[in-house]
Structures are given as C-alpha cells and as structure tokens.
Structure 1
Amino acid sequence: MAALIGRDLLGLADLTGEEVESLLKLATQLKLKQVKPQCNKVLGLLFSKASTRTRVSFTVAMYQLGGQVIDLNPNVTQVGRGEPTQDTARVLDRYLDILAIRTFAQQELETFANYAKIPVINALTDLEHPCQVLADLMTIQESFGCFHGLTLTYVGDGNNVANSLMLGCALVGMNVRIATPEGYEPNAGVVEIARKIARDKTEVILTNDPEAAVKGVNVLYTDVWASMGQEEEASDRLPIFQPYQINEQLLSLADPNAIVLHCLPAHRDEEITDAVMEGSQSRIWEQAENRMHAQKALLASILGAE
C-alpha cells in the first residue's frame, strides 16, 4: 500500500476502487493475524463530537501497531477556547505523525489538512463517515465473499453515513439504493460524485419508497434518524421516519440471505427493532469489530508500517 503513504483521507472519493480493495485485504489479514505490521508513531485524536467505537477502535489499532495515541479533547485544549483552526493545525503538525478528526463541518477538516503537513483522517464530519464505511464493506465482503452483483439499501436519514455508503458501494462495484423521506435525501454533490464513479457499471438510486428499495436486496442498512447536533429535531422526525424502520416485515422483503447493518449507536425499536438487531441476519457486532481492523489497515498504510 505504498500509494497511500503520507496521504489524507478526507472522504471516500480520495481513494480508488483498487485502493479500497487493498485496504480491505490488509484489514482481513490483520484480523486473521496473518501479518503484524509495526510503526512507532503518534496518532492524535481531535474529537469535537462524542464517540465510542471510533475513539476506542482507533486507539486500540494504533497501540497494536506499536504506536502511541494522544486524546486531544477540545475541553482540555485551546481548541475549546477558540484557537483558530489553522493555528492548531500548524502546531500539531510539529508534534504528531498523523491526526484523526471528528467534527461537525467538513470545511474544518479540510482547513486542518491544508495547514498540516501530516496526514489527516476524517473520523466523522456532518458530510461523511469514510472509516465507518470501510468497516461496512469489510463486513459485507466477509458475508458474501465479493461485491459483484450485490445491492445495498440504506433506509432512513440521508446523512453522512448515507453519503459515504454511496461512494463506497460505487467504488467496489455494488449497487446502492438510498430510501429517505422527501426532503431528507443525501447530499446532492455526493450523489453526483457517486454516480460518476459508478458510471454504467452499477446503480446509485434515490427513492422515497422504502418497501420498493428493500425488495430482493442483499444488505439492509440504517442509522439513527437524528444525528449528533440534531437532537432537538428528534421528536418531530419520529412520525416522518416511522415507515423507514427496519423491522421483520421490511426485512422479509429483502433476499432471504440478506444481512442487516447499523453503524451504532442504535435507538432500539426506533429506526431498527430489537428483534432484528438480535436476529440471525444481523451482522452489527461483526461490523463494529471491523472498525478496528479497517482503521488499523488504514493507519498502517498511511504511516508506511513495516
């Protein structure tokens, strides 16, 4: 993975399909303990949003590579007191080897990348969640062995996860359908990029009909109906999104061998029922574990671990 050394990952479109496939191959080798790359480097985590899986998986992955992690909580750094992004970026560039940022605006992430020479990884913004989708693709590959001929349907809010799923599926040659209520569609610019990547090889379909979107699909995916920063809208969204709940009835429309994914945290019996989460078709816990393996592969590749 020499091609990734020193590069940023600000969104999935920063990668080619071949690079995604290579990352997934390395992630699988790491999970099976077939390879043990090492790098004595320092990862900074600058997270302005709450995190469980992203924070812990990045930390454990870096430690297992032989590196160190510094948690740059905005509440205990000058970031929380309003230090300009470009100033923080130029200082951290002199201390760290790589930086993962979890924030609201994609522009803030891009500003960090512009002012820091070290690699910057998108650990979640309001626009994209690329590291999550690398783990999602790894989980799908484990379940089906390949991507060709598969279709993934995402139902719910057209948020950052939906945006990155469109790009990820297009990159590896999967069909993707995004079913949202009217007015909650994914970012139009990301849709355009995903369709350019897919060209005439695969489909990127947007619809407001969840049942039509789910018919015969191989992967059924959802996320919370109100993301971080949208908590005040949660109660108003409930009746709008209710037809998009992944329950046993909706799941029955998918392929009998379909799997169910959720990036977590989940509001059980809201966007997904408890029965489906705990059912035989759920791969949610494998998906969560794969965050660590996919991110370890990403870190090893960007840092040139040997």
Structure 2
Amino acid sequence: MRHFIDTQDFTKTELVWLMDLIGLLKTADRDRALPPLLAGASLGMIFEEPSTRTRISFEVAMTKLGGHALYLKPGEIHLGVRESIKDSARVISRMVDAIEARTLKHATVTELARYANVPVINGLTDYNHPTQVLCDVFTMREHRPAGKPLEALKVAFIGDATNVCSSLMMICTQMGMEFVHCAPPRYQAPKAWQLIARANCVQSGGRFSVTDDPVQAVADADFIYTDLWWWVGQEAEIPERQAAFMPRYQVNDALLANAPPHAKFMHCLPASRGVEVTDAVMDGPRAIIYDQAENRLHAEKAILVAFVRPHLRLPSAKRSARHAHAIGAFLDDHQLDGAATPAAALEA
C-alpha cells in the first residue's frame, strides 16, 4: 500500500508521471469530459485546522471523478483524543476508500498511514505540504520560458522556512532544478533539510543554496516564491519576525527589478498583503498565483486517481446483475411488518 506523505518517497520519474497525469485530467476537465474514474469511491477528509484550497480542491476533485468526500473536523471524530490514532485509522479504513489528513503534527499523518488499510494523503503538516508543491512544479512547467527544460529552472524562495519551503526545496532538488532559500540566518532552512536537499542534488544534478541576500537570490530566477512570515501559534513572535523580515525580504517591485523580465511570482496562499508581498506584485502581470491555486484541484485529482483507483474493485456487468437480482428477490419476498414491498408499491 503506497501513501502520498512526502515527495521524498517517490522517484523523479514517478513525480513526472504524476504531473503528466495532472495535465491529462486538467485538459479533460476543461473540456467537461472528465471520466468518472472514482465512481462510488469515498474519501474521508480529516482537518485539524481550517483550509480553503485543500478542502475545496479535494472535495470538488472527488465529486468530479464520480466519488464522494466526507469532511471530518476536531470535535466531530475522536481521532487521538477518545480514540487512538491506530484505532481511528483502522475503523475509518473500513468505511472509506482513502483518507486525506491535514494535521498539526507530521507524526499524526505518518501514524495514520502506518495503520490505515487504504491510501493516506498528506494534506499538510507542520513539516511539509506535498500536495501543494506537486501543484507548484506543475504550474512552473506551464509557465516556464518556452523551450527551457525543467532542470534549467531556478526557483528563489524568499522568506521563512515554512512547511511549504521544506516541500518545495525537496521536490525542486529531486527534479534537478536550482533552489535558493533566502531568509535572515535565524529563519533559514534547518541543517537537516539542507542535507536532504543536497543529497537530492547529487542524484538529480540539481543545485541548492541558502543566502540572506534577496537581490542575489532573485538574480536569474525563473520563479520567485514567498509564504507567510508567521502562522497560527506564532502570534507572540510577530513583532520579532516582522523586524527580521521587513522591509528587506518583502517581495515588491523593487526586489523584482533585480530578477529577469520573464520571472513569475508564486504564493501558496493565503497571503498577508502588504507584509511578505505587496498588492502591486500580487495583482501585477508577473503573478501566477490564481493559476497556481486552480492547479491544486487538478493536482488533487491526479493524486486521488493514482493512489485510490488501483485499489477499487470494479465489478463486471454480470456480477452487478447477479447481486441486483439477489437483492431485488429478497426485497420482493421479505418485508418489515407494515412496510410495502417494492412490487406491492408498484402495483398500488
């Protein structure tokens, strides 16, 4: 059983295959000709914190593919509180065909995957966000300069070492791209992340570096990416973080003037306008943030098809007819006291 927990669990070839599938499903969806590849399937969506793009993209993806998504939030299920993660994973697995989980701790997702009997998809943890970055690199493929191979692209991430930074660092170096993380020293990628990225580069031929100079980081960049400077639970650090990042690390027109004219701006959203990025950049011609957001839907479709469809039992027409006959005969011959049988109802 394979799960989608971390891009590091996959080869470059497999990641390219997933992105090719995203493209096929996106084209079919645009033509309103998407086949019901997950007809009758159900997805249990566990959300320990609110979400816009992740929730909508997974729920709509399941609907478009002919399946159903069930939204589960704290207070509605017993995950890790009244019931162990182990028991929750095994019970939920008996009722759905896949589990998507957006959790506060990475260990929660890995434990779900350890005990689940269906594919588990990581919708975000405190460590990484693999569904986001699969979408991001697919978006880069769509918006790269004409004729420029993926391996020749440079991505400059300006800002805090967030879970998105972690995942983007990993997938870009897996793909053989150049990735630069730019932040004040205190907020740069941990050494453990850097070791993984450098090991990826040895395998892929990619390039990786860390700097505190944003002008240097965006030079020759094809894509300039930023994320929030603080998140839920870091409110007490806001003054300190704002002092460390502002104004030098804000993505604004002055910084973009040091990048090539073709460079595009990306953000996973939500964004704090006027903080890590200005309105002028967000709403300007370089921004591809809404194309990027839309591609979350197409990426989730591909992930669901790739990981869920192989485990679906698709009955033959003969088997379906046999069961329909047996159930119909039972209902015609038996009834609860006072309840009309289907045949009697039709005669009435």
The aligned residue for residue 286 of structure 1 is 291
Moved more, 65-74 or 37-46: 37-46
5+ residue gaps, structure 2, are 315-348
The aligned residue for residue 301 of structure 2 is 296
CA offset digits 1:145-164 (Å, max 9, x no partner): 64121100001001111110
TM-score, normalization by structure 2: 0.83
Q: Distance in 2 between matches of 1:101 and 1:69?
A: 12
Q: Distance in 1 between matches of 2:208 and 2:238?
A: 28
The aligned residue for residue 232 of structure 1 is 236
Report how many residues are paired: 301
Offset of residue 228 of structure 1: 2.8
CA offset digits 1:157-202 (Å, max 9, x no partner): 0111111011110122210000111111223323212221111711
Offset of residue 304 of structure 1: 2.4
Q: 1:85 to 1:253 in 2, by over 3 A?
A: same
Moved more, 191-200 or 136-145: 191-200
User: Which of 249, 252, 256 does residue 257 from structure 2 map onto?
Assistant: 252
User: Which of 252, 262, 265 does residue 267 from structure 2 map onto?
Assistant: 262
SS of the residue corresponding to residue 96 of structure 1 reads: coil
Tell me, yes or no, if the aligned pair for 2:36 and 2:64 is still in contact at 8 Å. no
User: Which of 146, 166, 177 does residue 174 from structure 1 map onto?
Assistant: 177
CA offset digits 1:205-232 (Å, max 9, x no partner): 1112212111121100000000233233
Q: Which amino acid aligns with 1:257?
A: H
Q: Distance in 2 between matches of 1:232 and 1:75?
A: 26
Moved more, 98-107 or 188-197: 188-197
The aligned residue for residue 188 of structure 2 is 185
Tell me, yes or no, if the aligned pair for 2:223 and 2:265 is still in contact at 8 Å. yes
Q: Indicate yes or no: 2:217 matched with 1:213.
A: yes
Offset of residue 32 of structure 1: 1.1
Q: Distance in 1 between matches of 2:93 and 2:194?
A: 33
The aligned residue for residue 124 of structure 1 is 124
TM-score, normalization by structure 1: 0.94
5+ residue gaps, structure 1, are 1-5
Q: Distance in 2 between matches of 1:194 and 1:62?
A: 33
Q: Distance in 2 between matches of 1:152 and 1:95?
A: 41
Q: Identity, % of aligned pairs?
A: 39
Tell me, yes or no, if the aligned pair for 1:49 and 1:228 is still in contact at 8 Å. no
Tell me, yes or no, if the aligned pair for 1:103 and 1:126 is still in contact at 8 Å. yes
Tell me, yes or no, if the aligned pair for 1:163 and 1:191 is still in contact at 8 Å. no
CA offset digits 1:115-168 (Å, max 9, x no partner): 112111110001100000011111100011641211000010011111101111
The aligned residue for residue 97 of structure 1 is 97
SS of the residue corresponding to residue 205 of structure 1 reads: strand
Q: Distance in 2 between matches of 1:80 and 1:232?
A: 27
Offset of residue 43 of structure 1: 0.6
Which of structure 1's runs of 4+ aligned residues deviate more than 6 A?
none
Q: Indicate yes or no: 2:65 matched with 1:61.
A: no
Q: Which amino acid aligns with 2:282?
A: M
The aligned residue for residue 75 of structure 2 is 75
Moved more, 63-72 or 186-195: 186-195
Q: Which amino acid aligns with 2:241?
A: R
Moved more, 177-186 or 74-83: 74-83
The aligned residue for residue 35 of structure 2 is 36
Q: RMSD of the alignment, in Å?
A: 1.6
The aligned residue for residue 163 of structure 2 is 160
The aligned residue for residue 3 of structure 1 is none
Considering Cα pairs closer than 8 Å and 6+ residues apart, tell me whether 1 or 2 has the greater RCO. 1
Q: Distance in 2 between matches of 1:24 and 1:217?
A: 22
Q: Distance in 1 between matches of 2:47 and 2:211?
A: 33
CA offset digits 1:41-64 (Å, max 9, x no partner): 111110101100000001001111
Q: Distance in 2 between matches of 1:64 and 1:261?
A: 26
Moved more, 172-181 or 185-194: 185-194
Q: Distance in 2 between matches of 1:229 and 1:64?
A: 35
SS of the residue corresponding to residue 138 of structure 2 reads: helix
Q: Distance in 2 between matches of 1:192 and 1:80?
A: 32
SS of the residue corresponding to residue 114 of structure 1 reads: helix
Offset of residue 97 of structure 1: 1.0
SS of the residue corresponding to residue 181 of structure 2 reads: strand
Q: Distance in 2 between matches of 1:231 and 1:30?
A: 40
Q: Distance in 2 between matches of 1:35 and 1:42?
A: 18
Q: Which amino acid aligns with 1:72?
A: L
Tell me, yes or no, if the aligned pair for 1:217 and 1:255 is still in contact at 8 Å. yes
Tell me, yes or no, if the aligned pair for 1:244 and 1:271 is still in contact at 8 Å. yes
User: Which of 4, 16, 22 does residue 11 from structure 2 map onto?
Assistant: 16
Q: Distance in 2 between matches of 1:12 and 1:51?
A: 21
The aligned residue for residue 325 of structure 2 is none
